[in-house]
Amino acid sequence: MNEQPAKLEVDGEPIFLKRRVIPSDQREGVLQALEKMKRVGVITRVTSITWATPIAIAIKSDGRTPRICGDYRLILNPRLRKSAATTMEPEDIIKAFHGSTCFSKIDLTDTYLQIPLAPACRQSTTINTPWGLYQYNFLPFGLHTSSGIFQAAIDEVIRGLDGVLAYHDVIVFGTTKAENDDRLLKLLERFAQKNVLIRASKYMFSSPEFEFLGFTMNAKGYRPDPSRFRPLTELE
């Protein structure tokens, strides 16, 4: 995605922390996830290193696949200089949708992991696992600067495209279906040029309404998403 690799500015001396014990019922899934990350080039096995942090494990939205990242709260985040990132306020984004009647929404694959990390910065991202040490070649999850770096990168990708905004997902909007479809096609062409990977299983094309930050957006404006209140209504 990025033509220029992302850089991390770290203050202080390196710290090496020991690995954590992985629960037995998670070990196989975590090992498979690590092997896949190594196979596709996201991480590289290293042996002699001065930085290391244990891993943190979360489950992806499919409810099965583990997402692995370093527990950077311990050593890296406190020493990492915050990067300046400009993002639109949700209120301004909602105003930008005014007059639109057709919407598309695209989810990106492994967002941060599409951004290469500068070689000089990779050592500080090293994770310590029961199967050895691995450093990241791409921007990892878990860094407090990752969201800002990603936002700047995706904003640069979509720069100059009408009716396209990036806020968690990439949203395309138009006053007509034809306009929306034309803008969507231009976005997909830009993604192909910039090698941006999208999640084929999670998208929405040319819909009269969509969900955004707890609201249902359509040509009439926006209203609270009814599903957010379902637990309350079920209590009655």
Q: Give the pairing of strands 127-129 and 53-59.
A: parallel
When computed from its CA atoms, the radius of gyration of the chain, rounded to whole angstroms, is: 20
Percent of the chain with pLDDT over 90: 63
Q: Using the predicted structure, report yes or no on whether residue 232 has a pLDDT greater than 50.
A: no
Region of residue 55 (phi > 0: left; psi between -120 and 50: alpha; otherwise: beta):
beta
**Domains of the chain: residue spans and CATH:** 24-223 (3.30.70.270)
N-to-C CA span, the chain: 49
The 3-state DSSP class for residue 38 equals helix
Mean pLDDT of the chain: 89
Give me the phi and psi of 107, to 5 degrees please.
-105, 135
Q: Give the mean model confidence (pLDDT) for residues 198-221.
A: 86
Condensed to tens digits (0 to 9), the pLDDT of residues 142-195 reads 999 999 999 999 999 999 999 999 988 999 999 999 999 999 999 999 999 999
Condensed to tens digits (0 to 9), the pLDDT of residues 120-134 reads 999 999 999 999 999
Considering only residues 231 and 208, tell me which one the structure prediction assigns the higher pLDDT. Answer: 208
Give me the phi and psi of 67, to 5 degrees please.
-105, 125
60-74, 127-141, 197-211, 215-229: the lowest-pLDDT one: 215-229
The one-character DSSP state at 192 is H
What does the alpha-carbon distance between residue 182 and residue 175 come to, in Å, rounded to a whole number? Answer: 11
The pTM (predicted TM-score) of the whole model is: 0.84
Condensed to tens digits (0 to 9), the pLDDT of residues 38-85 reads 999 999 999 988 999 999 988 777 777 788 989 999 899 999 987 766
Position 48 scores a pLDDT of 80
Position 227 scores a pLDDT of 66
The one-character DSSP state at 50 is S
Q: Are 203 and 106 in contact (CB under 8 A)?
A: yes
Position 107 scores a pLDDT of 92
